[in-house]
Structure 1
């Protein structure tokens, strides 16, 4: 009987490794990048111009093109996770990423709900969101460890109310 664990999504069958814990005492399962991907420096994306304008109190007009350039980069893992309904998988950055590689998770931590597994939109594909605060672009190579996942239980309020069943994939439970 399966309780919690990881599987490979169809698109990446035979191409990625399932997450493992690095040591016996490790809380998190290490996730690897499913493909080589470049995470551009935010400084090359125009954030410097935005900061300069803001500091000089200029009126900012942010075009959609600039806003799209400043979005985080999604790094695919090729992995999905299954777990009981009262658990979630917390995605965390590797402690070495900010210090050595200038990579931060734009959402702080990620939350993978149990109903994200096998959703009809993307099969429950887990991706990490990164911003590169360094001066140079950062290339993450396929198979490189990028983050950790920790299974956690959660509690519900006495007045628990939900919006219904999940029908989509990444970001589908709200704006």
Structure 2
């Protein structure tokens, strides 16, 4: 698969893989961005991509950002739909409640591109029975 990408800022770093077989493309901060305590900050990457129809782009946290810098993605996993063509911005929040600074060029997230199923919704009176049923959170113990 070819992933069309364009720079939205002339000095942005292109997405990279640390190893040729890595699943995610590392996204870099396009500018030095202050991260305020207890505030979600959108960090620009300077990159826009064209996710193919039938696929989704997932923004996932880099473990090193959490372990070394005590920051993570505010929404857990971000979704980039195939119709979006704007700049990718990464919502970062500090885990420790402290002020931080993300420098331009810092790897801040990973982009995964995965195939998806686009189901048609069929509203029914009852769902098919399973052994688990509606047993949810904590139903299998801790």
Task: State if a TM-score over 0.5 links the two structures.
Answer: yes
- Show the 5 A alignment for 1:17-36: 17-36=13-32
Q: Could you tell me the TM-score, scaled by structure 2's length?
A: 0.79
Deviation at 1:3, TM superposition (A): 4.0
- Show the 5 A alignment for 1:33-44: 33-42=29-38
Q: Quick check: 1:7–1:18 contact (8 Å CA) kept in 2? A: no
Q: Could you tell me the TM-score, scaled by structure 1's length?
A: 0.65
Q: Secondary structure at the match of 1:107?
A: coil
4+ residue segments displaced more than 3 Å:
none
Aligned counterpart, 1:48: none
Aligned counterpart, 1:16: 12
Equivalent residue for 2:105, pick from 143, 153, 162: 143
Q: How many residues align?
A: 122
Deviation at 1:41, TM superposition (A): 2.0
Distance 2:108 2:118 in 1: 31
Aligned counterpart, 2:6: 7
| 2:73 counterpart of 1:105 | yes
| 2:59 counterpart of 1:91 | yes
Structure with more helix by fraction: 1
**1:81-104 C-alpha deviation (Å, 9 max, x unpaired):** 112211111101101112211112
C-alpha RMSD of the superposition: 1.7
Give unpaired runs (5+ residues) of structure 1: 43-69, 118-123, 161-175
Distance 1:80 1:95 in 2: 23
